[in-house]
C-alpha cells in the first residue's frame, strides 16, 4: 500500500509539541515498553483485546496508563491515538496484526515506516542484506535443491509453518506451487543481537549516519526444534517445526563482537541508501557455523521479543549505561530526548 | 498419613505471637530463602546434615542464622523448631526427605499441607489438573501404548528413573507390574512458570480467592535428555534420562501469558474446591507444542528450584516490584505482612 | 620455556608501590575487566589490534583508559606495560595469542604464571585432576577405542578441531599419528563453575591455603554441537563440532554444590603441592551424568569467558556480596586490597 505522506505525520507531530504519549498493541514486548514509559514519566496507551485486559491490568508497574479496548487488534481508530498525542511503537505483533494497513496509518510511528515495508518482503530483505555484503544462506530455486533446505512462506508468523524438504521431489509434494523462499540449510547455532541505532549518539559504534549500541543477545526458543532430539531419541520421526515460544539469554564470544557490529553498521548504512534509514531498535537473525562464520537470514526492523529477556538490562547494556537499560527504556529515552530537542521528526514516520 | 490437627498448628502459632523465624532443610532453594530472611530481618534456621554444614557456612549473606545439625535430613525434632517460633518453608527436598511424615509434623508449615498430599500422588495431581480443565498428556493403559510413552514411577525424585518405552512389549519387558503412570509422549518445549498466590493481594491476576503473580519462568536442565543429541550424533543409542541437574532462565512469548495466567487461576481455584486451597508459590510443569498448545504434566505445590535462577529478580518480577524480588523474598514478605495483620493462620498449616 | 625469575617480577612490583593499573588484550573477557576497573577507579590499558580499536572505543563504560595499538596481539612491548605500573590479567585469548612467550614475559601477571604452564598441557592437567581425586573421563590408548571417543589436539582453541571417532579404524583414518589425547565420550550435561580463590578471605569455602567463592555457573554454547539435532532431524549426518560461540547462564541443583565446592577445594589444594598454587579465578569444565556423577575434563587456570554472562552479578555472587559482583570486579577488588596491604607479591607472578 501507499505510505502515508510524511508531511501529514509531521503536521501531527507539530500539533503534539513537546508532549507525547506512547501507544502499542498489548502483546509481544509491550509490558517492557509500558514499564519503561511509567519509569520515565511518559503516558502509555495499550490497545488491548477485550479478553486480555485483565492480564494487562494485573501488572502494577507494567500496565499502560490507559486502555483502548478493541474486539480485534487491527480495529483501533488512529484518531484516538492522535488525540492522545500518541507515538506508536511498532513491535512484531503490531506489524503482524495491523498488516499492510500500517503503511497508510495516520498516526506517528517511531522509526521509519518504510523499513517495515522492507522487512515485510523476504525478497527485499535479502536484497538489503546482499547490498550490505552480509553473508546469508544461499537462496535456491526448486531445481537447485540437493539436500535439506528450509522453505519459508510469506508472512510466516513467529516461525510457524516453515518446512524442511530434503529433495526436489519432497518439495513438489509438500510445497508445490505455493509462493515461498527456499534457503540452504545452515548447520550452526543461532544468535539474535539487539541493535539500537541513534542518529543523535555521541557514543557507540559509529556508522555513516549515527551510532549503534548492542543492548543484548538472545536465542529464540523454538518448538519443536529445540527439543526435537528427545523425540528422535524416543524413536519418533516427527517433522521439525520452528514456532517461537520464548527466548533465553546468551552472550557472544567477545572476539565475534567486531564482526557483529560491522554487520549492524552495514545493514544500517544500506538502509539509508535504500529507503532513508532505519531508526531505533533492530535485530539481525544469525547462525554461527563451526568455522565462526556468521550467516544472516532475517532482519527485524523494530524491537524484537528477545529483548524481553533483558527488562532489567543485559550484560552488554551495562557497557553503555550506569543503570538497567532495556530496549524499551532506550526507546523512551530516545523519544524524550528528541522531543526536548525538537527532533522527533528525524526519527518518526 | 493423617494430617496433624489444624487447631494444634493454630495454637502453636498463637504461642508465637507476631514474632517468627523461618526454617528449612539446607538444600533445593534454601540459600535463596536464607538470603531473603537475612535481608528482611527474619531469623532463619537451617536443618543441615553434618557433612554439608561447612558449605552453608561459606555464604556470608545466605547462611542461616542458626543450624540444627542432623545425621539424616528427616531426623530433626519438631519441638526444636517450635521453641524457635519457626515456620517451616517446605521445598522439594524437604518434601522428599521428610516424606509422609510431613503430614503429622507438629510444626507450622507455610502453605496448606494438604496440598503436599495432592502433589505427592500422580493420580490425585491429574485429577486436580483435569478438574481445572487444563490440557494434559493422555494417560495410557499398558494396552493403549502404540508409540513412545513416558513411564513415571511413584515419587521419582528430580526426574530420576523415568523411562521411555516404544511398545507394549517393551513396557512388559522394562516395567512389568511395577506401579507407574504411563503418559503420552508430547513433542514440544518445556517451560516452568513460577506462580505466587496470595489471598491478601490487591494486585496481580485475580482468582476466586485472591490473586496470582508470575515471578519467573525457567527451563529445567535434564541429564542426559538435554544433550542427548550429542550422543546420538556420535553414533550412540543411549536410553534417554531426565535427571534434573539445574535450571536456566527463559521468557515466554508475551501472547502466551494470558493462557498461562488462566491455567494458574484454574489450578488455584480448584485447589480450594478440593482441599481448601494452595497458598504461596507453586509451579505448573508444561510443554508447549508447535501449535502453541500448552500441556501441563505436573504441579509443584511449593517453591521450585527453578526460582534459584532469579535470586536477583526476574524479567517478570519487575512488572510487580520496584526491587529485585525472588520467590524466597516474596515468601518472607508474605509471612511478615500476615504476621503484622495477625493472619498467619490463613496461610499456614 | 623457562619462567621469568620471580625476584624480577617482585622488583618490578616494588617499583610500582601501591599504585597499579591493569592491562590485558582486547578480547575474551576484557570488556568486563575494563568496566570493573573503571568502576573501581583503577586505570586500565587495552592491548588492541588496529582494526578492533573502534569497537573497544564504542563502549563508554567499558573502554580501557588507554590503548596500546599493535598489528598482532603478541607484539606488545612489556616495558610499555611496566612503565604504566601495569599488572596483566591473563585471560583465555591472552594465553592463546601470547603462547609460551608468556612464561618469560617481564611484566607482573595476576595469579601464578606456573598455573598457565599446567593448563597448557593436557597431560599435566589430567595429572593435576587425578592427584586431586576428581573423576575424569577415561584417557584411552588408540587400541582401547571401542565406541565413540573424543579426540583432542594440543592447544585446540575454544573447542575448535575436536573430533569424534567411533572405532580404532576411524581413528587411524582421521587422526593417524597426530599428537592427541583420546577421551572416553561421557553422556550428560555440561556445567562450568566459576571459582575464585583468595588466600586472604575470611569467608567462603575453606581450603588448605585460603577460601573459595563460587561466582557463577554457565554453559558454553558450541557450534554445531548445540543444534546438531536440527541437522540430524533434517536428514543430514554432519560431523559434530565444538567451537565455542558464546555462553548462557544456568544454576546448579543446590544439592550438587557441596561436591562442586569439594572439587574446587581439591584442585586448589593440589595446585599448591604441584606448583605453588593457583590464585584468583579458575574454572573446572564438567559433565554431569544422569546418575549425578560429576566428571571434570579440563581446568582453566584463569578467568573464563563464561563469566561474561554475569557482568551484573550472578545468582551465586549475591550469596557473598551486597552488590553486583562480576569475576572482573572481584579481581580488581582483590588487587586493590592486596596493594593496600602490601601483599601483591603473594598473588602475582
Domain boundary, last residue among B151, B168, B184 = B184
Cα Rg, chain B, nearest whole Å: 20
Q: A148 and C245 in contact by Cβ < 8 A?
A: no
- The CATH number of the domain holding residue A26 is 3.30.470.20
CB A215 within 8 A of CB A330: yes
Last residue of a domain, one of A159, A184, A209: A184
Quick one: which of B44, B92, B154 has its CA closest to C253?
Answer: B92
Tell me the pLDDT tens digit for each residue of A8-57: 999 999 999 889 999 999 999 999 999 999 999 999 999 999 999 999 99
Closest residue in B to C185 (Cα) is B231
Query: B55, C257: Cβ pair inside 8 Å?
Result: yes
Task: List, in order, residues 6 or more apart from C319 with CB less than 8 Å away.
Answer: B31, B35, B59, B60, B61, B62, B311
Residue C1 domain-assigned?
no
Instruction: Read off the pLDDT of each residue in C289-299 and give the average, rounded to a whole number.
Output: 97
Interface of C with B in 311-330 (CB under 8 A): 313, 315, 318-322
pLDDT over 80 at A158, yes or no: no
Residues B166 and B267 in one domain: no
Inside any domain, residue C14: yes
d(C-alpha C230, C-alpha A223), whole Å: 12
Q: Do B245 and C205 touch (CB under 8 A)?
A: no
Other Cβ atoms closer than 10 A to B255: 16
pLDDT interval class at C76 (50, 70, 90): very high
Number of domains making up chain A: 2
Q: What is the pTM of this model?
A: 0.98
Residue B192 lies in a domain: yes
C 288-307 residues with CB below 8 A of A?
Answer: 305
Contact C320 B248 (CB under 8 A): no
Q: Are residues A43 and A105 in the same domain?
A: yes
Chain A neighbors of C35, CB-CB under 8 A: 318-319
Chain A: closest CA distance from residue C99 (Å): 17
Q: Determine phi and psi for C318, rounding to 5 degrees.
A: -70, -10
Given CB atoms, is C83 within the 8 Å cutoff of chain B? no
Stretch 124-183 of chain A: residues touching chain C, C-beta under 8 Å: 147-148, 164, 166
**Under an 8 A CB cutoff, do C224 and A256 touch?**
no
- In this model, does residue C172 exceed pLDDT 80? yes
Residue C216 has φ and ψ, to the nearest 5°, of 165, 170
Predicted pLDDT at C250: 98
Nearest to C185 among B226, B234, B243 (CB): B234
User: Looking at residues C37-52, what average pLDDT do you find?
Assistant: 98
Share of chain B above pLDDT 90, in %: 95
On whether residue B1 sits in a domain, the answer given is no
Task: Determine, for residues B225 and A222 on separate chains, whether the beta-carbon distance falls below 8 Å.
Answer: no
Dihedral pair phi/psi, residue C182, rounded to 5°: -105, 125
Q: From C33, C65, C35, C71, select the one nearest C52 (Cα to Cα).
A: C71
Which residues form the domain of C180? 139-184
Q: Are residues C154 and C227 in the same domain?
A: no
**Residues B147, B191 within the same domain:** no
Which residues, in sequence order, are CB contacts of A184 under 8 Å at separation 6+? A137, A138, A139, A140, A149, A150
How does pLDDT run across B36-95, given as a tens digit for each residue?
999 999 999 999 999 999 999 999 999 999 999 999 988 899 999 999 999 999 999 999
C-alpha span between B349 and B6 (Å, rounded): 6
Mean pLDDT on C245-252: 98
CA distance to A264, A318, C57, C62, C109, per residue, from C53 (Å): 17, 19, 6, 13, 23
Residue C252 with chain B: CB contacts under 8 Å: 245-246
Task: Give the mean pLDDT of C140-169.
Answer: 90
Q: Is residue C272 part of a domain?
A: yes
Q: Is A1 a domain residue?
A: no
pLDDT in tens, A233-268: 998 999 999 999 999 999 999 999 999 999 999 999
- The order of strands in the sheet holding A21-25 is A66-70, A44-49, A21-25, A86-88
What mean pLDDT value characterizes chain B? 96
Touching C (3+ Cβ pairs <8 A), the chains are A, B
The answer to whether residue B242 sits within a structural domain is yes
Average pLDDT over residues A137-152: 95
ipTM of the prediction: 0.97
Closest residue in C to A257 (Cα) is C55
Q: Which residue of A249, A290, A315 is in closest CB contact with C223?
A: A290
pLDDT digits 0-9 by tens, C20-38: 999 999 999 999 999 999 9
B154 within domain boundaries: yes
| From A46-55, A147-156, B105-114, C177-186, the region with the lowest mean pLDDT | A147-156
Would you place residue A195 in the very low, low, confident or very high pLDDT band (cuts 50, 70, 90)?
A: very high
Residues A35, A162: one domain?
no
Residue C205: predicted pLDDT = 98
Q: Considering only A162-166, A188-192, A293-297, which range has the smallest mean pLDDT?
A: A162-166
Instruction: In chain B, count H helices and then E strands.
Output: 12, 15
Measured between CB atoms, does C2 come within 8 Å of chain A? no
Yes or no: say if A35 and A24 are a contact pair by the CB < 8 Å rule: no
Among chain A residues, the shortest Cα distance to C61 is held by: A319
Cα separation, B147 vs C113, whole angstroms: 57
- The verdict on A219 touching C (C-beta cutoff 8 Å) is yes
C225 and C254 both lie in a single domain:
yes
Mean pLDDT of B168-185: 95
For residue B157, the model assigns a pLDDT of 73
Instruction: Give the β-pairing of C181-184 and A294-300.
Output: unpaired
Average pLDDT, chain C: 96
Average pLDDT over residues A94-105: 95
Same domain, A174 and A201: no
pLDDT digits (tens, 9 = 90+) for B192-214: 999 999 999 999 999 999 999 99
Residues B110 and B59 in one domain: yes
Asked if A25 and A146 sit in the same domain, the reply is no
Please tell me whether residues B169 and B124 are part of one structural domain: no
Instruction: Put the strands of the sheet holding A149-152 in their side by side order.
Output: A139-140, A181-184, A149-152, A163-165
Q: How far apart are CA C74 and CA C80, in angstroms?
A: 13
Using alpha carbons, list the distances in angstroms from residue B129 to B114, B274, B295, B303, C175. Answer: 16, 11, 10, 18, 55
pLDDT of residue A114: 96
Contacts of A28 in chain B (CB under 8 A): 254-255
Q: What is the CATH number of the domain that holds C157?
A: 3.30.1490
Percent of chain B past pLDDT 70, that is, above it, reads: 100
Q: Are residues B224 and B158 in the same domain?
A: no
Question: Based on the domain organization, do C36 and C88 belong to the same domain?
Answer: yes
Amino acid at each position: 500500500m501507499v505510505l502515508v505522506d510524511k508531511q501529514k505525520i509531521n503536521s501531527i507531530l507539530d500539533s503534539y509539541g513537546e508532549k507525547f504519549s506512547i501507544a502499542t498493541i498489548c502483546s509481544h514486548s509491550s509490558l517492557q515498553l509500558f514499564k519503561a514509559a511509567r519509569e520515565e514519566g511518559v503516558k502509555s496507551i495499550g490497545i488491548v483485546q477485550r479478553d486480555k485486559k485483565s492480564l494487562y491490568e494485573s501488572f502494577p508497574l507494567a500496565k499502560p496508563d490507559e486502555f483502548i479496548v478493541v474486539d480485534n487488534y487491527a480495529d483501533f481508530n488512529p484518531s484516538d491515538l492522535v488525540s492522545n498525542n500518541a507515538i506508536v511503537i511498532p513491535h512484531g505483533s503490531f506489524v503482524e496484526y495491523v498488516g499492510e494497513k500500517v503503511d497508510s496509518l495516520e498516526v506517528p510511528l517511531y522509526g521509519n515506516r518504510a523499513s517495515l515495508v522492507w522487512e515485510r518482503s523476504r525478497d527485499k530483505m535479502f536484497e538489503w542484506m546482499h547490498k550490505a555484503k552480509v553473508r546469508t544462506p544461499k537462496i535456491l530455486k526448486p531445481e537447485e535443491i540437493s539436500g535439506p533446505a528450509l522453505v519459508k512462506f510469506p508472512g510466516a508468523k513467529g516461525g510457524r509453518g516453515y518446512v524442511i524438504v530434503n529433495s526436489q521431489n519432497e518439495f513438489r509434494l509438500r510445497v508445490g506451487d505455493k509462493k515461498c523462499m527456499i534457503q540452504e540449510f545452515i548447520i550452526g547455532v543461532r544468535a539474535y543481537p539487539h541493535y539500537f541505532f541513534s542518529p543523535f549518539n555521541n557514543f557507540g559504534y559509529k556508522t555513516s549516519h549515527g551510532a549503534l549500541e548492542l543492548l543484548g543477545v538472545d536465542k529464540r526458543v523454538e518448538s519443536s526444534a529445540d527439543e526435537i532430539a528427545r523425540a528422535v531419541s524416543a524413536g519418533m520421526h516427527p517433522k521439525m517445526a520452528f514456532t517461537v515460544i520464548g527466548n533465553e539469554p546468551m552472550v557472544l564470544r567477545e572476539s565475534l563482537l567486531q564482526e557483529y557490529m560491522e554487520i549492524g553498521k552495514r545493514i544500517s548504512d544500506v538502509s539509508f541508501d535504500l529507503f532513508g534509514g532505519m531508526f531505533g531498535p533492530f535485530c539481525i537473525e544469525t547462525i554461527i557455523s563451526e568455522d565462526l562464520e556468521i550467516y544472516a537470514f532475517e532482519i527485524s526492523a523494530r524491537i524484537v521479543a528477545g529483548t524481553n529477556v533483558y527488562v532489567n538490562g543485559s550484560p552488554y547494556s551495562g557497557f553503555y549505561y550506569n543503570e538497567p537499560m532495556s530496549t524499551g527504556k532506550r526507546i523512551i529515552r530516545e523519544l524524550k530526548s528528541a522531543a526536548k530537542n525538537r527532533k522527533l521528526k528525524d526519527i518518526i514516520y
